[in-house]
């Protein structure tokens, strides 16, 4: 598995998103998925304190017991765990980190990410608290998620000389959601940030399993009510055209979705969820298609 850089971290180009843990799969199933990921060469695990109502961190921590040194663990804070635990105030940043460390059963977090901007708190204050965590050895690198170009620039200006800075941004990006191309990816170039795409498979639309005639497979993630925004008419048409493009070249839509993102220069790891070892193995193998310049031009024509 190819490794890429997020600051000082070296992560697998395919990562495992852990938001299914505690929501769609239980402790034992999580352990099987995590073990399969490590065996397949995936070392990057991305979770958050809110995933699975905090169970995701607990399940991931138990699944990594005895293999923690093989893993790069990323987690997030800032979205509401409950009415009291939320935001980016310095005192909460420190408490949230300690809570995550306890749930993960570890004494350090490799990549600690602000899950969303908190307009009520100056970013300099949040960065100061995160820098304290790095100096204390509780966190190795810091990142952010759901940030705009303007917010990335503001954070860069607010970072003190010699202090920890954001090394990554995690925003939605896929063949049917290309918003980061407008300015965030160029900001990553300018600021030296790694980019982590979430929803790379558009919550299942780009797996190739979606049938416009029958809808999402039963019990699939795409069948959940909140994922309906992915299956609008335009996205479905794009997915079908891309599926035909891939098939004509003896590849699957899944392979196209992963390999296209991996071809983006700033993308460090393509984070996708999984609920079974079989899905893990398919994801790990899906990133091996080297797309030509002509391929990329045709993909742009079909998907934009």
Q: Hey, how many other C-beta atoms are within 10 angstroms of the C-beta on 119? A: 9
pLDDT score of 59 more than 90:
yes
Tell me how far apart the alpha carbons of residues 105 and 190 are, in angstroms, rounded to a whole number. 36
- Could you give the CA distance from residue 174 to residue 199 in angstroms, rounded to a whole number? 7
pLDDT of residue 110: 98
Residue 175, pLDDT above cutoff 60 = yes
Least confident among 114-118, 138-142, 223-227:
223-227
Confidence (pLDDT) at 217 = 67
- Rounded to an integer, the average pLDDT of 159-164 is 97
**All domains of the chain, ordered by start, with CATH?**
3-303 (3.20.20.100)
Q: Is 51 a catalytic residue?
A: yes
Element (H, E) at 233: helix 233-247
Residue 71, pLDDT score = 98
Average pLDDT of the chain is 95
Active-site residue, from 51, 112, 173, 210: 51
pLDDT value of residue 226: 52
- pLDDT for 227 equals 66
* pLDDT-above-90 percentage for the chain: 91
pLDDT above 70 as % of the chain:
95
pLDDT for 211 equals 80
Q: What pLDDT does residue 223 have?
A: 54
CA nearest neighbour of 107 among 140, 130, 77 = 140
User: Is the pLDDT score of 100 beyond 60?
Assistant: yes
Query: How do residues 203-228 score in pLDDT, each as one tens digit?
Result: 899 998 888 766 666 666 655 655 67
């Amino acid at each position: 598995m190819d490794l890429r850089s997020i600051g000082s971290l070296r992560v697998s180009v395919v990562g495992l998103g852990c938001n299914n843990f505690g929501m769609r799969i239980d402790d034992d199933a999580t352990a099987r998925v995590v073990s399969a990921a490590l065996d397949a060469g995936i070392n990057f695990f991305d979770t958050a304190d809110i995933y699975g109502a905090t169970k995701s961190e607990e399940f991931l921590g138990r699944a990594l017991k005895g293999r923690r040194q093989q893993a790069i663990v990323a987690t997030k804070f800032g979205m509401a765990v409950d009415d009291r635990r939320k935001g980016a105030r310095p005192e909460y940043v420190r408490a949230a980190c300690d809570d995550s460390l306890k749930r993960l059963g570890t004494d350090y977090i490799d990549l600690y990410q602000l899950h969303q901007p908190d307009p009520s708190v100056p970013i300099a204050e949040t960065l100061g608290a995160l820098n304290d965590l790095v100096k204390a050895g509780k966190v190795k690198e810091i990142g952010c998620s759901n940030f705009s170009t303007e917010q990335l620039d503001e954070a860069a200006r607010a970072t003190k000389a010699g202090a920890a800075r954001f090394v990554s941004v995690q925003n939605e990006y896929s063949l049917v959601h290309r918003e980061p191309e407008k300015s965030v990816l160029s900001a990553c170039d300018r600021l030296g940030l790694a980019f982590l795409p979430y929803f790379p498979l558009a919550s299942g639309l780009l797996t190739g399993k979606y049938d416009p005639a029958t809808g999402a497979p039963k019990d699939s993630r795409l069948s959940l009510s909140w994922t309906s925004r992915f299956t609008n008419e335009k996205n479905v048409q794009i997915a079908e055209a891309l599926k035909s493009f891939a098939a004509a070249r003896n590849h699957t839509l899944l392979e196209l979705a992963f390999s296209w993102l991996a071809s983006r220069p700033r993308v460090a790891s393509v984070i996708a969820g999984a609920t079974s070892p079989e899905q893990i193995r398919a994801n790990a193998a899906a990133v091996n298609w080297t797309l030509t310049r002509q391929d990329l031009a045709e993909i742009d024509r079909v998907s934009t």
